[in-house]
Amino acid sequence: MIKQIMNTDVNYINYGNKEGKTVVLLHGWGQNIEMMKPIGDALQNKYNVIIIDLPGFGESLEPTYVWQIKDYVECVHELLNYLKVKKPIMIGHSFGGKITLLYSSMYETEKIVLFGSPYTKEVQKLSLKTKVLKGLKKVPVVNKLEGFAKKHIGSTDYRNASEMMRKILVETVNLDITEDVKKIKVPTLLIWGTLDEAVPIDLGRKLEKLISDCALIEYEGCTHYAYLERLEQTINILNSFLGG
């Protein structure tokens, strides 16, 4: 489905149990809805699931000006208002996790879950397609996405991105939201791979201490895509954390 928000077409899917609480899933940089769908599909029997192609990715158009993280937050908030969603459960990976963190410092959420999410300027951008694909080779679930990885992952990295998305990437990477993160009071769960090269586990350990009600689960030997590398374990943990 397409909804025009902030002068850009935003693609999203909404499925699952319409009577249940709403779970909003936000993907990482250079990715799209498909990378969060394994999580959404596992939660659909109990939850109302919304997965968004963040502007500039998937079937959503690029922003018409250089967006900051806050613009992505406002875009998500406007879409949720349109869908009459209040106090969502937010789940974000990487770039989507950074948006989730800022969103939760500004607006009401019920709970949040983060997979390898940056929040400082220390993190290097995932700019090389080969680097991203190399990490994904170890992810069985991705291999089942019918060539999706080779086709889409990293296709909008820094080298291949448009001038607009390059500028947005620079703004995204350089924004430190540490002080905003400290405002988050809702129950927060972090799932992190100990071999995450994009957002090192040490940053996850620091993030755990910044949020008052937060727990970190470390996946030994897993990468930036830890949540998919151990999908079954991730689903079990989510069901427990979300109350399902």
What 3-state DSSP class applies to 58?
Answer: coil
Cα dihedral 208, 211, 215, 218, rounded to 10, equals -30
Tell me the pTM. 0.88
CB 115 within 8 A of CB 97: yes
- The residue extents of the domains of the chain are 2-239
Q: Which CATH architecture has domain 2-239?
A: 3-Layer(aba) Sandwich (3.40)
For residue 159, the model assigns a pLDDT of 60
Give the tokens for residue 64: 């018409």
For residue range 159-202, what is the model confidence (pLDDT) as tens digits? Answer: 667 889 989 988 998 899 999 999 999 999 999 999 998 899 99
What 3-state DSSP class applies to 63?
Answer: coil
Task: Provide the b/e sequence for 68-84 (b: ≥16 CB within 10 Å).
Answer: ebbbbbbbbbebbeebe
DSSP string, 25-53: EE--TT--GGGTHHHHHHHTTTSEEEEE-
For residue 121, the model assigns a pLDDT of 82
For residue range 132-141, what is the model confidence (pLDDT) as tens digits? Answer: 555 555 565 5
Average pLDDT for 33-52: 97
pLDDT tier at 157, thresholds 50, 70, 90:
low
